[in-house]
């Protein structure tokens, strides 16, 4: 079994982690290595569930923070093992950004912070990069709800070492427009379902997405057609057209409210009869940065030179904490635009910065 | 080899023809039977090309008419051999309508009309029900242009024993709208190609198709979206959307003019940048019913009790004659709505009526 040296510098730990392949579904080896390394820490209570590992301090502090990261990556594209960038300032490799640098920060601190000022629950989990039903954090919260409790959560997903609070929610809705089929040589005998979609597309085209302030952060929304399909043959008047809409909504809305908003936009478009079917929905999450506990974290990260917290616009697993009533933020090394890229690489500076930011908070 | 008795009543000939399966590509047996039966007629000059047969009188008449029909059918669905309808007034079977009843009328007359008042070119051809490139009439007109010459043509496709003149043309055009891909969580970084299609669909929805009079017949047009496709994933702003439009246009327009008309409608919609690609085009055909030769035909058919000639709206092989400068009409037994139906059946009355109409014209 590959073993991890968690006393190494955090960029070295990052490389050790990248060099253990852990594509979703194949997290066994990396989970074994993490579990074995943490088992040596007397100050941590370890629970393993499948390839997810929870390591907790139990110092009886007033507050408990959860710090979480996933162990899996998207498929390798010739980018394992890791190599340094030419200038030596970065690490190239699958998962460097998403999110083994973040996991390295967590592991390095888990070993070092024997007496943190808040109790800490370190969560390392599997199956983040695949379908929602397999998600290891979701599984932990169902099977071990007592372990996923805390006053605040930090997810070490890449944010270029600045705080990105909460996340927008997302929903997908199919707008199904009916028609009546006919041979296109006698089109007046049919009703064209694609033509019926015109008001829907026009409403989406002129829709002006809102920007909503939540707990001091600005959440920019988006309402878009992400798919359209209609027609079965070049000589048939189409009897169905489906427009798939994706709404990214601010944490000021519940998902039910967001669904209603989309339905309102469609209804106001002047469209005729149509069916609306929600095919996918994921809650938004408030950042909770107005809580005193979070303020200490914001100050500690600011002391590393990071810019002001900003809103997280993509959906991330912080929303799972939101659903459990735990405010949560994203904070980790790496440029999220490079996640999943063939040339995925992470700046070592950002890895050190994140370690410093979290260490300052958890010891102050 | 199955042989045909062309001295039988025309409904009997219809049944003999249905009982020789001739799905497109498998016309060998029926072509053999037709060629053999016609070879016994001294008044006909026979040419065979593959499974197409041309039989001509050569009486030196001032005018020559072409009478044509295809030998193939769409696939059999348990409807061969033929059976009579319960009331005995119709024939059930694959090809009864499309178009072995028409072919039976042709064969019966080809044998009987030894001295018609106009020279006649009887054309029996293969591969009508499949892709255009295989069409036997098209092949004959390329390989034997001298055989496909005449002053007027009748295609015995099903029209319920009334004259349907000419045919509308048809063209398909893809309207390709560009966009710029982006993650839908940051939709403002992209440009939504599906939204860009809104003005195109709106223009099609409000378009009022014309009805155009040509040679005394009313051609009703149609301009429709028959397909739309866009979007690659539920979280990506689509960078392309394609609307496929089908224009059925009257014989007053050349196909080039029809293409320009569609482009004009799209341009006037207010759409932004887009590409228009013609993917399919087929000329319209004038009915030519204003010519003296045709008038005799119209009168002869009227004497059988048939209603006034009307425009043919679907595209048929008459357009091949139109492209050769030969005005052409459809005239044959059977309800075209039953063509290709599992329960395909043809009224014997209509078969006899068509035989009578053509005989009256060609002997007067």
Q: Going by C-beta distance under 8 Å and a sequence separation of 6 or more, which residues neighbour residue B20? A: B2, B29, B30, B33
Do domains A10-166+285-363 and A169-280 share one topology? The answer is: no
Per-residue pLDDT of chain B (364 residues; tens, 9 = 90+): 789 999 999 999 999 999 999 999 999 999 999 999 999 999 999 999 999 999 999 999 999 999 999 999 999 999 999 999 999 999 999 999 999 999 999 999 999 999 999 999 999 999 999 888 899 999 999 999 999 999 999 999 999 999 999 899 999 999 999 999 988 988 999 999 999 999 999 999 999 999 999 989 999 999 999 999 999 888 899 999 999 999 999 999 999 999 999 999 999 999 999 999 999 898 999 888 887 888 999 999 999 999 999 998 888 899 999 888 898 999 999 999 899 888 999 999 999 999 999 999 999 9
| Residue A316 sits at the chain B interface (C-beta within 8 Å) | no
Name the active-site residue from A72, A157, A239, A317: A72
CATH number of A169-280: 3.30.70.360
3-state secondary structure chain A: CCCCCCCCCHHHHHHHHHCCCCECCCCHHHHHHHHHHHHCCCCCEEEEECCEEEEECCCCCCCEEEEEEECCECCCCCCCCCEECCCCCEEECCCHHHHHHHHHHHHHHHHHCCCCCCEEEEEEECCCCCCHHHCHHHHHHHHCCCCCCCCEEEECCCCCCCCEECECEEEEEEEEEECECEEHHHHHHCECHHHHCHHHHHHHHHCCCCEEEECCEEEECEEEEEEEEECCCCCEECCEEEEEEEEEECCCCCHHHHHHHHHHHHHCCCCCCCEEEEEEEECCECCCCCCHHHHHHHHHHHCCCCCCCEECCCCCCHHHHHHCCCCEEECCCCCHHHCCCCCCEEEHHHHHHHHHHHHHHHHC
Contact A226, B238 (CB under 8 A): yes
| Of B195, B220, B225, Cβ closest to residue A194 | B225
Neighbour-count burial of A20, counting CB atoms closer than 10 A to its CB (0-12 exposed, 13-18 middle, 19+ buried): buried
Nearest CA in chain B to A169: B185
Would you tell me how many other CB atoms lie within 10 Å of the CB of residue B36?
Answer: 13
Instruction: Say whether A72 is catalytic.
Output: yes
Mutate to test the interface with B, among A168, A218, A222 (most CBs of B within 10 A): A222
User: Looking at chain B from residue 200 to 229, which residues have their Cβ under 8 Å from any Cβ of chain A?
Assistant: 201-202, 204-205, 209, 220, 222, 224-229
Task: Give the Cα separation of A247 and A261 in Å (integer).
Answer: 9
Q: Any idea where the domains of chain B sit in the sequence?
A: 10-166+285-363, 169-280
**Residues in chain A closer than 8 A to B244 (CB atoms):** 231, 234
CA of A243 vs chain B CAs: smallest distance (Å): 9
| Of B187, B220, B229, Cβ closest to residue A224 | B187
Q: Which is more confident, B323 or A347?
A: A347
Judged against a pLDDT cut of 90, whether residue A20 lies above it is answered with: yes
Task: Give the Cα separation of B4 and B355 in Å (integer).
Answer: 18
| Residue A233 sits at the chain B interface (C-beta within 8 Å) | yes
Q: Each residue of A26-58: pLDDT tens digit?
A: 999 999 999 999 999 999 999 999 999 999 999
Task: Give the Cα separation of B332 and A349 in Å (integer).
Answer: 84
CA of A202 vs chain B CAs: smallest distance (Å): 5
Residue contact B198–A185, C-beta within 8 A? no
To which residue do tokens 């048929």 refer? B316
pLDDT the model gives residue B311: 92
Instruction: Say whether A128 is catalytic.
Output: yes
State ipTM: 0.80
Length of chain A as a residue count: 364
Give the CA dihedral A244, A248, A254, A258, nearest 10 degrees.
Answer: -40
Span A232-239, mean pLDDT? Answer: 91
B93: left (phi over 0), alpha (psi -120 to 50) or beta: left
| Residue B235 sits at the chain A interface (C-beta within 8 Å) | yes
Contact B77, B342 (CB under 8 A): yes
| Residue A246 sits at the chain B interface (C-beta within 8 Å) | yes
Instruction: State chain A's mean pLDDT as an integer.
Output: 95
Judged against a pLDDT cut of 80, whether residue A1 lies above it is answered with: no
**Residues in chain A closer than 8 A to B187 (CB atoms):** 209, 222, 224, 248
Task: Give the Cα separation of B338 and A123 in Å (integer).
Answer: 68
Q: Each residue of A241-264: pLDDT tens digit?
A: 999 999 999 999 999 999 999 999
Contact B250, B210 (CB under 8 A): yes
CA of B62 vs chain A CAs: smallest distance (Å): 37
Residue contact B222–A188, C-beta within 8 A? yes
Phi/psi of residue B196, each to 5°?
-65, -20
Nearest CA in chain A to B221: A185
CA of A267 vs chain B CAs: smallest distance (Å): 16
Residue contact B192–A184, C-beta within 8 A? no
Q: Which of B66, B74, B144 is nearest to B106 (CA)?
A: B66
Contact B344, B3 (CB under 8 A): no
Task: Give the Cα separation of A58 and A46 in Å (integer).
Answer: 11
Neighbour-count burial of B145, counting CB atoms closer than 10 A to its CB (0-12 exposed, 13-18 middle, 19+ buried): exposed
Nearest CA in chain B to A313: B185
Q: Which helix (H) or strand (E) holds B47?
A: strand B45-49
**Residues in chain A closer than 8 A to B230 (CB atoms):** 225, 227-229
pLDDT the model gives residue B316: 87
Partners of B56 in beta bridges = B45, B121
Name the active-site residue from B126, B128, B283, B350: B128
Judged against a pLDDT cut of 90, whether residue A131 lies above it is answered with: no
CA of A210 vs chain B CAs: smallest distance (Å): 12
| Residue B319 sits at the chain A interface (C-beta within 8 Å) | no
Residue contact B238–A231, C-beta within 8 A? no
pLDDT the model gives residue A315: 83
CA of B164 vs chain A CAs: smallest distance (Å): 14
Q: What angle do CA A83, A85, A90 make, to 5 degrees?
A: 95
Q: Which of B177, B184, B151 is nearest to B266 (CA)?
A: B177
Determine what percent of chain A is predicted with pLDDT higher than 70: 100
| The domain over range B10-166+285-363 is classified in CATH as 3.40.630.10 | yes
pLDDT the model gives residue A117: 96
Q: What angle do CA A171, A173, A178 make, to 5 degrees?
A: 175
Residue B23 tokens, joined: 């799905």
- Number of residue pairs across A and B with CB atoms under 8 Å? 159
Residue contact B172–A233, C-beta within 8 A? no
pLDDT the model gives residue A130: 86
3-state secondary structure B219-285: EECEEEEEEEEECCCCCEECCEEEEEEEEEECCCCCHHHHHHHHHHHHHCCCCCCCEEEEEEEECCE
What's the half-sphere exposure (Cβ side, CA atoms, 13 Å) at B12?
Answer: 7
> Can you tell me whether residue B1 is helix, strand or coil?
coil
Residue B179 tokens, joined: 């966009």
| Of A186, A198, A220, Cβ closest to residue B198 | A198
Nearest CA in chain A to B183: A314
Residue contact A222–B185, C-beta within 8 A? yes
| Of A220, A244, A314, Cβ closest to residue B231 | A244
pLDDT the model gives residue A132: 81
């Amino acid at each position: 079994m590959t073993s991890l040296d968690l006393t190494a510098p955090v960029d070295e730990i990052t490389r050790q982690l990248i060099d253990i392949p852990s594509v979703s579904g194949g997290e066994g080896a990396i989970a074994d290595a993490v579990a074995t390394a943490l088992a040596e820490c007397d100050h941590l209570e370890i629970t393993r569930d499948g390839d997810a590992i929870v390591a907790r301090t139990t110092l009886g502090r007033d507050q408990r923070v959860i710090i979480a990261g996933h162990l899996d990556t998207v498929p390798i594209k010739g980018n394992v093992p890791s190599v340094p960038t030419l200038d030596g300032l970065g690490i190239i490799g699958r998962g460097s950004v998403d999110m083994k640098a973040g996991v390295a920060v967590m592991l390095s601190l888990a070993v070092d912070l024997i007496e943190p000022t808040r109790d800490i629950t370190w969560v390392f989990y599997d199956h983040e990069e695949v379908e929602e039903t397999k998600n290891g954090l979701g599984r932990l919260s169902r099977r071990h709800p007592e372990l996923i409790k805390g006053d605040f959560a930090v997810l070490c997903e890449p944010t270029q070492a600045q705080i990105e609070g909460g996340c927008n929610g997302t929903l997908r809705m199919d707008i199904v427009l009916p028609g009546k089929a006919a041979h296109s040589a006698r089109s007046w005998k049919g009703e064209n379902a694609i033509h019926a979609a015109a008001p829907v597309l026009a409403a989406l085209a002129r829709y002006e997405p809102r920007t909503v302030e939540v707990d001091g952060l600005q959440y920019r929304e988006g309402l878009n057609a992400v798919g359209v399909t209609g027609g079965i043959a070049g000589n048939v008047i189409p009897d169905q057209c489906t427009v798939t809409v994706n709404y990214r909504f601010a944490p000021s809305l519940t998902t039910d409210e967001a669904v209603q908003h989309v339905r309102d936009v469609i209804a106001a478009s002047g469209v005729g009869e149509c069916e609306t079917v929600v095919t996918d929905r994921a809650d938004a999450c408030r950042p909770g940065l107005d809580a005193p506990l979070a303020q200490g974290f914001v100050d500690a990260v600011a002391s590393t030179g990071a810019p002001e917290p900003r809103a997280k616009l993509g959906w991330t697993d912080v929303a799972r904490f939101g659903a459990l009533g735990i405010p949560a933020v994203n904070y980790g090394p790496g440029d999220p635009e490079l996640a999943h890229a063939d040339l995925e690489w992470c700046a070592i500076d950002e890895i050190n910065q994140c370690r410093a930011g979290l260490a300052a908070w958890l010891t102050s």
